[in-house]
Amino acid sequence: MIKTKRIYDPKEDSDGIRILITRKWPPGQKKDRFDEWIKDLSPEEDTLNKWEDSKRTEEDWKRYSVKFYPQMKESKAVDKIEELRQRSKKGETITLLCFCEKGEHCHRYIVKSLIEGSSTVIESD
């Protein structure tokens, strides 16, 4: 099972393995808040900065997604996605962690869908 949460949300036994998928260390957080840190499953800094500087409209999300999906096709990301897919298939509960508030506009939901094999790559216009 793949779950998602904010790194700042309370840690629960049902989280299973907690995996941070950000490039930057979460301010004010200690290592005991997560079990693994996989930077390769986070957006590149430029992509993230453009999203954070945007008005976060649907159009902005589409532009962000178009930039992020190709980053997940890089070999390190592909390997990590496949590793997490196999771990999940073996029954391991995995919780993907990020800074973003709960909502659909966060890369952790894209990564979750890629692990579950339910994502369609968005092509640029």
In a domain, 55, yes or no: yes
Instruction: Quickly count: other Cβ atoms within 10 Å of residue 93's Cβ.
Output: 15
In a domain, 123, yes or no: no
Per-residue pLDDT of the chain (125 residues; tens, 9 = 90+): 999 999 999 999 999 999 999 999 888 888 899 999 999 999 999 999 999 999 999 999 999 999 999 999 999 999 999 999 999 999 999 999 998 887 779 999 999 999 998 764 443 33
In a domain, 15, yes or no: yes
State residue 104's pLDDT score: 72
In a domain, 63, yes or no: yes
Amino acid at 20: L
Tokens 């976060």 found at: 56
In a domain, 124, yes or no: no
Range of 66's domain? 2-116
In a domain, 109, yes or no: yes
In a domain, 27, yes or no: yes
Under a CB-based contact definition with an 8 Å cutoff, are residues 7 and 33 in contact?
yes
Under a CB-based contact definition with an 8 Å cutoff, are residues 20 and 8 in contact?
no
Instruction: Quickly count: other Cβ atoms within 10 Å of residue 6's Cβ.
Output: 15
Number of domains observed in the structure of the chain:
1
With 0.85 as the threshold, say if the pTM is over it: yes
